[in-house]
Amino acid sequence: MYGLEIAGVIQPADGSTQEPLTVLNVSRRRFLKQTALGAGSVFVLGVFSGCRADNLAAWPDRAEPMGSLEDAGFRPNVFVGLNDAGDVFIVCSRSEMGQGIRSSVPAIIADEMGADWDRCHILQATGHPRFGNQNTDGSRSIRNHFDDWRRAGATAREMLLAAAAQQWETDTESCSMGVHEVTHADGRTLGFGELAVTAATLSAPNAPTFRPRSEWRYIGTDIDGRDNKAFVTGSATFGIDVQVEGMRHAAIMRSPVFGGKVASVDDTAARAVPGVLDVVRLNDHSMPPAFQALGGVAVIAENTWAAFKGRDALQVTWERSPHQDWSTEAQRAAMDAAVQAAGTPVRNEGDVEAAAGQQVVEATYHVAMLPHASMEPPTATAWVRPDGTCEVWAPSQAPQTARGSVAGALGVDPEAVTVHVTFLGGGFGRKSKPDYCIEAALLSKAVGAPVKVTWSREDDLRHDYYHPPSAQYMRAALGEDGKPLSWLHRSSFPPIGSTFANGVSGPGAGDLRSGVSNMPYVIPNVRVETSEAFAHQRIGWLRSVYNIHHGFSVNAFVAELAHAAGADARDYLLDLIGPDRELNDLFPRPPVLDTARLKGVIRRAADEAGWGRTLPEGHGMGIAGHFSFSSYVAHVVDASVEDGAIKVHRVDCAVDCGTAVNLDRIRSQMEGATVFGLTIALKDGIEAVDGRVTTGNFDTYRLLSLAETPDTHVHIMDSELPSGGVGEPGVPPLAPALAGAILQATGRPVRSLPIRLA
């Protein structure tokens, strides 16, 4: 509903009068566009925005180039282009989902090249092997490819220097790179545009030299978000925004029980819904599920609303699934029983059973099954043309995987498939799996027109690739000094491997290299075991993956040991980590854990939080540190408990991610991890009964609200070491730090996520 416009006047505190405002009853996107188009300050449903049109006009929109890579005469590699006007085109091969990668990666290239950031235009790569690894997951974009991006920029820089030397008929040693220009020793300059044609005739160097850190202009600073204006004004194209001429819309009814197959369909009522064009039955999926479409019955319609209403009218009966009797409660009981018995050892040092102590502490920790619940549910648009070629527009974290999977489902060569990557409204690992892209392609082929598949929030929460539930059994015998003489850890959860291979039950040895088999403590007798657990849903990676289970159980148990020993939690943790050393033996491949860096973030977070200060009654402070994705993160949480209600007042986060590229994005990722981690700790998990996921929307899977979000402080450690990950490592220490705060405040240990004190 649009068009309700009421003039009014805002009276500032200084008594002056501003121009009339406009009051609109609008959608959020209409609100953003209205401000961009000159409505001035806008008041919508009681919220005032001071983002005026004149301010936005001064905010350069550099996300869209003034040309294309094809217009660039100088293209030294697939990532860089330069035209004779001096416009630099940088291709980003990673997917943007709010983490700022379309700013960070191009800034690395621009810095090494010597380009003026304001004259760079960012282009999004389609899914293709020529760009190398494009999977935007595992916090790998910077930590695995920092030098690759630098090399792309350095190649262009050296070729521009050589082009200048050729035009001046001199040697390259007399030429130096300025900002978007080359300067001769005698003061002459040539701009990038003036060098483009000559540079295009030169051969690329095999091993270009990197610029020294002292010459970096962008790396290690607060790099501005290249897409911020598009996001704020609503002009950014996310997956749900894609429009293709002649496009039809699809909603799919999938089996409410994983593994269920269609027995019969009555689509009479569905076809009678206004706007419904067709009903298509998809093939049933097979096991293992991998990235297949789940099957079911699709309603094809003129618009999304008609597709959903038509789906509601379908009468579908389902064959009985092998998972019909599964429930989350029964699965938790089965994992509890599994970790109480001896499991399969993956680390065994000394003799855990023979080690006797003054006190034995044991606990079993649980994490509920979790969804991704990204802001934008899965959606994809596909067009399979009569000649067999296919275009896909999708918010994909792994466009090459989507390309190959769609090609396989259609039975065509991957070169016949083009995947266009839109902005992602969140991902967290869900959009690395291209099942929704396959659905769109199969339906497009079936109806002979472009098709957009839209998942509802209920579809998203009930048909996810879930983060697995887990049970972690811990036992330690404490000596006279309160330190553990022995450490036994059994881990049980259905692994991601079960999604890709039949017969996989329980974690493998490699799955425990996320804080269990490679835990860094100095303990003479250690035994780590895996225990059986069966999957009843598709299991997939979620932000921080198994580090969620292990970071919680290991750190929360250490806090309990400190409490049992009557020791300070920070000092106990640092003593348990022991002397500075690199744990090569526990990390069979890089990265190697450096205990000095782990202790460094623990000390920094504690110092910044004022560890040891007097707390109000009912308050507690907890601390935890964890190594994952080549980075070290520690959290200190100040929380209180009153009448069973938990309130988090302040979070201090210290992060050592090696060489920091974009300080603004590092802070925002850690702040986001705080919200993500507190949602896991304080809200809801996925629940299922009789094989059906009962969690359906944000009424039953609640998210942390703005009012509940604590005062969060992020402290970035200075480092010149190789870059580590940022997107994922901030999650694991948050929940155990909160558990430690609750333990200090109440004397009650926290052993399950989400936390329930009542």
Judged against a pLDDT cut of 50, whether residue 5 lies above it is answered with no
754: preceding bond cis by omega (within 30 degrees):
yes
**For position 24, what pLDDT does the model report?**
37
**For position 30, what pLDDT does the model report?**
52
Which band of pLDDT confidence, cut at 50, 70 and 90, is reported for residue 68?
low
**Rounded Cα–Cα distance for residues 715 and 724 (Å):** 15
Using N-to-C axis directions, what is the helix angle for 734-746 and 547-565, rounded to 10°?
A: 30
pLDDT digits (tens, 9 = 90+) for 126-144: 999 999 999 999 999 999 9
Type of residue at 202: L
CB atoms within 10 A of CB 740: 31
**For position 656, what pLDDT does the model report?**
98
**Rounded Cα–Cα distance for residues 326 and 537 (Å):** 10
Q: How much is the mean pLDDT over the chain?
A: 91
Q: Mean pLDDT throughout 315-321?
A: 97
According to CATH, the topology of domain 71-230 is Aldehyde Oxidoreductase; domain 4 (3.30.365)
Judged against a pLDDT cut of 80, whether residue 10 lies above it is answered with no
Which band of pLDDT confidence, cut at 50, 70 and 90, is reported for residue 21?
very low
And the tokens for 413? 């060569």
State which of 63-77, 448-462, 578-592 shows the largest mean pLDDT: 448-462
**For position 72, what pLDDT does the model report?**
82
**Rounded Cα–Cα distance for residues 185 and 411 (Å):** 60
Compute, in degrees rounded to 10, the torsion defined by CA atoms 568, 569, 572, 573.
-160
**Rounded Cα–Cα distance for residues 416 and 139 (Å):** 30
**For position 586, what pLDDT does the model report?**
80
Judged against a pLDDT cut of 50, whether residue 50 lies above it is answered with no
**Rounded Cα–Cα distance for residues 546 and 487 (Å):** 20
Burial of 467 (0-12, 13-18, 19+ CB in 10 A): buried
pLDDT digits (tens, 9 = 90+) for 517-565: 999 999 999 999 999 999 999 999 999 999 999 999 999 999 999 999 9
pLDDT digits (tens, 9 = 90+) for 192-230: 999 999 999 999 999 999 999 999 999 999 998 999 999
Distances from the Cα of 141 to the Cαs of 137, 147, 723, in angstroms? Answer: 8, 11, 10
Distances from the Cα of 687 to the Cαs of 330, 453, 538, 597, in angstroms? Answer: 11, 26, 15, 39
Distances from the Cα of 507 to the Cαs of 514, 519, 701, in angstroms? Answer: 12, 16, 26
**For position 29, what pLDDT does the model report?**
52
Query: pLDDT: is 71 or 332 the higher one?
Result: 332
* In the chain, % of residues over pLDDT 70: 91
Element (H, E) at 423: none
**For position 358, what pLDDT does the model report?**
84
User: Are residues 621 and 559 in contact, defined by beta-carbon separation less than 8 angstroms?
Assistant: no
**Rounded Cα–Cα distance for residues 599 and 297 (Å):** 54
Buried b (16+ CB within 10 A) or exposed e, 217-253: ebbbeebbbbbebbbbbbbbebbbbbebeebbbbbbb
**For position 73, what pLDDT does the model report?**
87
**For position 65, what pLDDT does the model report?**
45
Q: Please tell me if the domain spanning 71-230 has the same topology as the one spanning 239-321+378-454.
A: yes
Judged against a pLDDT cut of 50, whether residue 15 lies above it is answered with no
For residue 754, give the DSSP letter: S
- Cross-strand pairs, 471: 366, 492
Query: pLDDT: is 221 or 60 the higher one?
Result: 221
Element (H, E) at 116: none
Backbone dihedral region of 497: left (phi > 0), alpha (psi from -120 to 50 degrees) or beta? alpha
Which band of pLDDT confidence, cut at 50, 70 and 90, is reported for residue 31?
very low
**Rounded Cα–Cα distance for residues 486 and 478 (Å):** 7
Distances from the Cα of 207 to the Cαs of 43, 133, 156, 165, in angstroms? Answer: 56, 20, 12, 19
Q: Mean pLDDT throughout 732-745?
A: 98
Which band of pLDDT confidence, cut at 50, 70 and 90, is reported for residue 48?
very low
Q: Mean pLDDT throughout 85-105?
A: 96
Among 562, 288, 177, 231, smallest CA distance to 423 is for 231
pLDDT digits (tens, 9 = 90+) for 621-654: 999 999 999 999 999 999 999 998 999 999 999 9
76: preceding bond cis by omega (within 30 degrees):
no
Q: What is the DSSP string of 669-694?
A: HHHHHHHHHHHHHHS----EETTEE-
What is the CATH code for 328-370+466-753? 3.30.365.10
Which band of pLDDT confidence, cut at 50, 70 and 90, is reported for residue 67?
low
**For position 44, what pLDDT does the model report?**
31
User: Are residues 285 and 321 in contact, defined by beta-carbon separation less than 8 angstroms?
Assistant: no
**Rounded Cα–Cα distance for residues 447 and 453 (Å):** 13
Judged against a pLDDT cut of 70, whether residue 270 lies above it is answered with yes
Judged against a pLDDT cut of 60, whether residue 148 lies above it is answered with yes
Among 347, 249, 259, 228, smallest CA distance to 301 is for 249
Among 302, 450, 299, 275, smallest CA distance to 380 is for 450
**For position 70, what pLDDT does the model report?**
73
- Cross-strand pairs, 298: 252, 280
The CATH number of domain 239-321+378-454, selected from 3.40.50.2000, 3.30.70.1450, 3.30.420.40, 3.30.365.10: 3.30.365.10
**For position 694, what pLDDT does the model report?**
98
Largest CA distance in the chain: 83
**Helix, strand, coil in percent for the chain, rounding step 5:** 30, 25, 45
* In the chain, % of residues over pLDDT 90: 88
**For position 6, what pLDDT does the model report?**
29
User: Are residues 152 and 159 in contact, defined by beta-carbon separation less than 8 angstroms?
Assistant: no
Which band of pLDDT confidence, cut at 50, 70 and 90, is reported for residue 14?
very low
* pTM for the structure as a whole: 0.92
Per-domain residue ranges of the chain: 6-57, 71-230, 239-321+378-454, 328-370+466-753
Compute, in degrees rounded to 10, the torsion defined by CA atoms 223, 227, 231, 235.
160
Q: Mean pLDDT throughout 465-493?
A: 97
Judged against a pLDDT cut of 60, whether residue 345 lies above it is answered with yes
**For position 54, what pLDDT does the model report?**
43
User: Are residues 655 and 726 in contact, defined by beta-carbon separation less than 8 angstroms?
Assistant: yes
**Rounded Cα–Cα distance for residues 59 and 53 (Å):** 10
pLDDT digits (tens, 9 = 90+) for 383-404: 999 999 999 999 999 999 999 9
In the block, tokens 């520690």 appear at: 634
**Rounded Cα–Cα distance for residues 387 and 391 (Å):** 12
**Rounded Cα–Cα distance for residues 754 and 366 (Å):** 9
Query: pLDDT: is 21 or 721 the higher one?
Result: 721
User: Are residues 67 and 89 in contact, defined by beta-carbon separation less than 8 angstroms?
Assistant: yes
For residue 117, give the DSSP letter: G
Distances from the Cα of 560 to the Cαs of 228, 245, 398, 555, 735, in angstroms? Answer: 44, 61, 41, 9, 14
